[in-house]
Structure 1
Amino acid sequence: MVFQGAAGKRVSEDVGTLFTTSPPLILLADAERVARACFPGSVACAPLTGERDVNFRVTRVDGSVLTLKFINSAEQLAETEMQVAVLKHLQGAMSVQASHHQTVDTAGLAALSDAQVGQTDTGSTRDWIQYIPLSGGEPIRVRAYGYLQGAPGTGLKADPRAWTAVGRAAAALNRELLQFDHPAAHRKFLWDACQVLDLQPLLGAVESDTERQMIAEFLTLFERQVVPVLDSLPKQVIHNDLSPSNILIDSDGLDLVGILDFGDMVYAPRIAEVAIAASYLMTYSSDPLTVLACVLDGYTEVLPLTSIERLHVLDLVLARLAQRMVITSWRAARFPDNRAYILRSHATATALFNHLYADWKTAQISR
């Protein structure tokens, strides 16, 4: 399905193919073959959920566990390289863990006639393999990384201590990422909140006329009031998706023990990290601005924020909520079989956007 924007632009001309390309057709047998050949000691595979890639949990004879990722064919080589590089950069650097990268056992690779070591612009690598699925087609990249233990972040308690902990973890991660950069982080990316104007060609996917008009009005105000100041904000590479789906928590539900999925990393204002993390937590409270304040407090326990960053944090909260409303509607229409997973946070994002928008609009007009 292709939607037309107000300016008549086709969506396919405005967004990357990563969001319009179906995940690869991968069977459990594919995962078992790759795991046993390339990661010695693998004994069992089980499917995991995913939106763009196909993932499996791999159990090994020594008790260790890996995540095996069959990568969407539309993911650029540089994006894969960036995700591997950041795991190597963060290994052992934080109390809140990131997964360790797992290299390929090339001796076992010889057992797969339809696979070879990964290829980069400068030569071969053991960071991934090129694999032709049993269903056929072109080779795709497959990589593995440690499967972190912890409770799902969806169980985080609606408690100021938990919200503050998320802010602290975001700042600790940003502190480590200050020394990390990669060309792929500077790509044009639909989930970059600072590039929220790229939603305009997708607005036709929003079924509600009222919500579609409100988002269009928000984008107009954002372009006029916020875009001119974005370049003045402190920038760095950020995770860009510290949602409950991408964090692991302790048994008390009050602190973070792991951070997952670095595939959405971008070079952006660091305050966007706070805004994005808070935008998910704010949907679980009747007092969302208190949640935002707690996340900010936690962040500043580790890193200071400027007054101009604080001034614009809510702008970027609304930007992420608008993305969650529009992009998920658009992708659900394209991939109806995965609709439930894609739309898992759509309703809560819409409710929070509606709750915040009127006061935000008044504040923008009065600036």
Structure 2
Amino acid sequence: MQGAEHLGELLDEAPPAVSLDEAVALARDHFGLVATARPLTGERDHNFQLTDAAGAVYVLKVVHPAEPPAVTDFQSRALMHVAAADPELATPRVVPPRGAGGGDVVWRVQGRSDRRVRCLTYLAGRPLHLTERSPAQRRRLGAFLARLDRALAGFRHPAEDHDLLWDLKKAARVRGLLAEIADAERRGLPERALDRFARHVLPVLPSLRVQVVHNDFNPHNVLASAEADDEIAGVIDFGDMVRAPLIQDLATAAAYQVTGDGHPLQGVAEMAQAFHQVLPLADEEIAVLPELVATRLALTIAISSWRAARHPDNAPYILRNQAAAWTGLGRLDALDRDAAVTFLREAIAKDTLP
């Protein structure tokens, strides 16, 4: 845990602010874009929306100085790979910098740490967390994620195994972060999820197929069409990518689809069935999906509790997904494991989507 926690602390440290004038100059000097800029939110980087005279829109990302250059390159190269493998898939496109062979440039300012700068095309749409959930939306989410994972299959990069606090396959190491939850009974909920992860998932992880995955397909990173909540307009933020079991990507996405009524896994099943029809799942992958979904919720609770305690001024933003995580984990905690796996197997095995 120590290495990941240390990296998390480094990325929590706020780098020097980037002014609008600096963003405009970076866009012009390094990417040939004459544009206006306005700030966008970001967990680690300084992000800006750029608009040129013709109305074309881009995103300029001034990368956190603690992020290794190889990881920044990993993200850019992955986007290039996806664009070549599935040109119709709605993901940001890398805007190549002038005179550089990769996807980023180094910005040097006297007295500051060097920072890397990237530019991407802007995807229009509404963040999924502002839309109305539905079975149709979940099915389209599953199909979209499967296409993305299919496009990423075969992509390799030297930084693909970088250490990431949000790497679900390493979830056991966050147990110590749960100490921030003072109520022992309440703390027992994520602790039991981590116990089940250790008992049922860790022993089979080495046998599962692996590839580079998005690893953060959450409702803040997925966009819906402006016309319809059920239509997926694209996915953004490839900053948590890592090489991991394929089923980890589906579990991470499905953790945000645990339903508040009916069967707790109904929303998970709808997404998984659509994923399976595009990119078939093996039985051993389905068998660990319930635990992985619960583990992702436990990971959300552990990391956000730890970070909120260290940054009380930013706690509302950090804890924005916690209520849903507690509710979802509580519902999954009550399920019998064998019954949960059977429910998913039967739903995923259906020949057609309802």
TM-score range, shorter chain: 0.7 to 0.9
Residue pairs, 1:93-242, within 5 angstroms: 93-105=86-98, 125=101, 127-132=103-108, 136-242=111-217
State whether residues 168 and 302 of structure 1, in contact with CA within 8 Å, keep that contact through their aligned partners in structure 2: yes
Partner of 1:66: 58
How many percent of aligned residue pairs carry the same amino acid? 34
The answer on 1:321 being equivalent to 2:302 is no
- CA drift of 1:29 comes to 3.0
The answer on 1:25 being equivalent to 2:16 is yes
The answer on 1:254 being equivalent to 2:230 is yes
- CA drift of 1:286 comes to 5.3
> Which sits farther off after the overlay, 85-94 or 160-169?
85-94
- CA drift of 1:185 comes to 1.8
- CA drift of 1:19 comes to 4.5
> Which sits farther off after the overlay, 330-339 or 145-154?
330-339
The answer on 1:330 being equivalent to 2:320 is no
> Which sits farther off after the overlay, 69-78 or 92-101?
92-101
- 1:150 & 1:143 partners in 2: Cα distance? 21
Q: Residue deviations 1:134-163, cap 9 Å, x none?
A: 8x4211111111111122222343211111
Partner of 2:327: 351
Partner of 1:110: none
**Structure 2 CA distance for partners of 1:234 and 1:86, relative to 1, 3 Å:** same
- 1:184 & 1:278 partners in 2: Cα distance? 26
AA partner of residue 264 (structure 1): D
State whether residues 275 and 313 of structure 1, in contact with CA within 8 Å, keep that contact through their aligned partners in structure 2: yes
- CA drift of 1:12 comes to 4.6
State whether residues 259 and 266 of structure 2, in contact with CA within 8 Å, keep that contact through their aligned partners in structure 1: no
State whether residues 224 and 234 of structure 2, in contact with CA within 8 Å, keep that contact through their aligned partners in structure 1: yes
Q: Residue deviations 1:18-65, cap 9 Å, x none?
A: 454323222333222212322334331111111111111111112111
Runs of at least 4 residues off by over 6 Å = 361-364
Runs of 5+ consecutive residues of structure 2 not aligned to the other structure: 341-354
AA partner of residue 279 (structure 1): A
> Which sits farther off after the overlay, 147-156 or 225-234?
147-156
Partner of 1:57: 49
**Structure 2 CA distance for partners of 1:332 and 1:182, relative to 1, 3 Å:** same
AA partner of residue 15 (structure 1): E
The alignment's TM-score, normalised by the length of structure 2, stands at 0.88
Q: Residue deviations 1:193-243, cap 9 Å, x none?
A: 111101022122224322323322332332122210111122211111110
Residue pairs, 1:36-51, within 5 angstroms: 36-51=28-43
Aligned-partner SS, 1:97: coil
- 2:98 & 2:218 partners in 1: Cα distance? 33
> Which sits farther off after the overlay, 47-56 or 184-193?
184-193
- CA drift of 1:363 comes to 6.9
Partner of 1:81: 73
- 1:29 & 1:337 partners in 2: Cα distance? 27
Partner of 1:109: none
- CA drift of 1:290 comes to 0.9
State whether residues 48 and 56 of structure 1, in contact with CA within 8 Å, keep that contact through their aligned partners in structure 2: yes
Choose the corresponding residue for 1:340, options 316, 320, 327: 316
Partner of 2:349: none
AA partner of residue 208 (structure 2): L
**Structure 2 CA distance for partners of 1:43 and 1:72, relative to 1, 3 Å:** same
Partner of 1:5: none
State whether residues 222 and 235 of structure 2, in contact with CA within 8 Å, keep that contact through their aligned partners in structure 1: yes
Partner of 1:15: 5
> Which sits farther off after the overlay, 222-231 or 11-20?
11-20
RMSD: 2.2
- 1:361 & 1:288 partners in 2: Cα distance? 13
State whether residues 36 and 43 of structure 1, in contact with CA within 8 Å, keep that contact through their aligned partners in structure 2: yes
- CA drift of 1:287 comes to 4.0
- CA drift of 1:355 comes to 1.5
State whether residues 260 and 328 of structure 2, in contact with CA within 8 Å, keep that contact through their aligned partners in structure 1: no
Partner of 1:114: none
The alignment's TM-score, normalised by the length of structure 1, stands at 0.85
Partner of 2:351: none
- 1:78 & 1:360 partners in 2: Cα distance? 43
Partner of 1:119: none
AA partner of residue 211 (structure 1): R
- CA drift of 1:271 comes to 1.2
**Structure 2 CA distance for partners of 1:16 and 1:237, relative to 1, 3 Å:** farther
